[in-house]
Amino acid sequence: MKPVHVGGLVVGGGSPLVLIAGPCVIEDKERTRDIALYLKKLTDEMDIPFIFKASYDKANRTSGKAYRGPGLERGIEILKAIKGDLGIPILSDVHSREEIEKAAEILDVVQIPAFLCRQTDLVREVARLARAVNIKKGQFLAPWDVRNIIEKVLSEGNERILVTERGTSFGYNNLVVDFRSLPLLRREGYPVIFDATHSVQLPGGQGTASGGQREMVPCLMRAAAAVGIDGLFLEVHPDPEKALCDGPNSLYLDALPELLSTVKSIDRLVKNRADGIF
């Protein structure tokens, strides 16, 4: 597997598991920075490589009346300040070609949303401009279908690719994770990230918003680490019940130390195996 360099971090190639974490969406500058600072201090203490994530515009909300974020201009300004002040790599997602150039100037990783992963022009423009690309595997795709998306990125000369598993549609308003997907995705030769919080989402499950099964996140985190992953993606919030987006599937910040300690131990055990998986 070819490791991918993100800022000063290395993802994949047998390196320790990287944490990609933050709130679903930027609610305001102060709270977003506070979350980033908490996560930086925690991961520094636990010696876990860390990439901060937050969306500046959630263009795929269930309801047209739902909070989307501060938008591109203000959102990128906030993320740029956090990156500069805290010295951490930043990931965010784009939803249209028009925003890619400005976002890519600041972001260390530009994420292609799951629902847009087959949009060829979007994928290629992200690949052309981004330092690194995180492909969210669509809920409607088989693991081997991701090869076509990877080839679109490679066609623009960008080999800094991450692939994220986030569950598969299973009937109405439900997702399920097939853990066979993780080793199947790894066969493509790029680091694989597991999105534990979106994998317990119940899309549109509350009618005008998505629901979620937060209590299942620790189980999926442990299982994914045991199968073997290069990074873990989590949406977190100090008070998920009051979060403006994805609260039902977001983790409480104070739950992280114990969960990350367990996952880090599993990751270390798995990557010490001499079976050629890593």
Position of tokens 């595997």?
Answer: 137
Tens digits of residue pLDDT in 169-205? 999 999 999 999 999 999 999 999 999 999 998 888 7
- The torsion defined by the Cα of 67, 131, 221 and 259, in degrees rounded to 10, comes to -80
CATH code of 89's domain:
3.20.20.70
For position 275, what pLDDT does the model report? 53
**What DSSP string describes 2-51?**
--EEETTEEESTTPPPEEEEE-SB---HHHHHHHHHHHHHHHHHHT--EE
CA 165 – CA 139 distance, rounded (Å)? 9
For position 277, what pLDDT does the model report? 55
Tens digits of residue pLDDT in 4-14? 999 999 999 99
278 occurs within a structural domain: no
Q: For residue 278, which amino acid is it? A: F
277 occurs within a structural domain: no
Annotate 46-78 with b (16+ C-beta within 10 A) or e (fewer).
eebbbbbbbbbbbeebeeeeeebbbebeebbeb
Q: How many domains does the chain have?
A: 1
Tens digits of residue pLDDT in 23-42? 999 999 999 999 999 999 99
CA 260 – CA 258 distance, rounded (Å)? 6
CA 213 – CA 250 distance, rounded (Å)? 9
Q: Give percent of the chain above pLDDT 70.
A: 98
For position 174, what pLDDT does the model report? 93
- The alpha carbon dihedral of 264, 112, 91, 55 has a sign of negative
CA 251 – CA 237 distance, rounded (Å)? 6
Residues 6+ apart with CB under 8 A from 45: none
Domain that residue 43 falls in: 4-271
For position 192, what pLDDT does the model report? 98
- 161 pLDDT more than 80: yes
